[in-house]
Amino acid sequence: MLEDSKSARRDDNLENSLKNHHLTEEKTNLDANYDKLVEHVNQLLNAQEERVLDLSYMKVNGHGAESSSSAVPVMKSEIEKKEAEIMEVNGKYSVLMNLAEAQGRVIRTQKGNHLKEKEKLSEENYNLKLQIDKLSKSEDKLNDEIVVLNLHIDGLKKGIENLIKRRDELKLHIADQLKALEKNQEKLKMIRDILDG
């Protein structure tokens, strides 16, 4: 059961690490893309400023209303493009921030889960130690009882041996008594025969 729990936790950790790795790679790629877009937008803004300066220069130098009127739609078009690019960059930046926030939540959740798992394992380990101590005490008690029982068994064996020895002695004594009785009966018979005779 403990091994299954460890294996499942290890699999979860590997899966979460893989997710973190993918999110980190995605964030790195988005950071790089964001930096490129910011640089591009800055270049476009610089180009726009240069064109505005060129337009101002053209107005000041009086290149004519025709050249300035043809530059206005181009400038409007450039401004619209830049605004669209800025919105795109802002959208990508928002996605990047959401990804970073999601990654932070995943990391915090993983840390929380890891701490909970660690706490649970510590508690299980403590409970196992308590059970082992309890079993060790029970084993010691049983060993003491076995020693006492073995002493009783040894005492009973000695008692049985003494009883067997006493029985054998009694058998010999009874056999001797029976032989003596037979001899006495024979003597008594002989005496009766003599007295009758």
Q: Residue 154: inside a domain, yes or no?
A: no
The pLDDT assigned to 56 comes to 61
* Any domain includes 173: no
Largest distance between two CA atoms of the chain: 193
Reported as a single tens digit per residue, the pLDDT across 127-172 is: 999 999 999 999 999 999 999 999 999 999 999 999 999 999 999 9
Specify if 14 maps to a domain.
Answer: yes
Residue 156 in any domain: the answer is no
- Domain for residue 185, yes or no? no
In this structure, is residue 44 part of a structural domain? yes
| Domain limits for position 38 | 2-139
Contact indicator for 38, 89 with CB cutoff of 8 Å:
yes
pLDDT-derived band at 60, boundaries 50, 70, 90? low
* Residue 163 to residues 149, 160, 166, 175, Cα–Cα distance (Å): 21, 5, 5, 18
The structural domain count of the chain equals: 1
Query: Does residue 17 fall inside a structural domain?
Result: yes
**Statement: residue 64 has pLDDT above 50:** no
65 has a pLDDT exceeding 50: no
> Across all residues in the chain, what is the average pLDDT?
83
In a domain, 192, yes or no: no
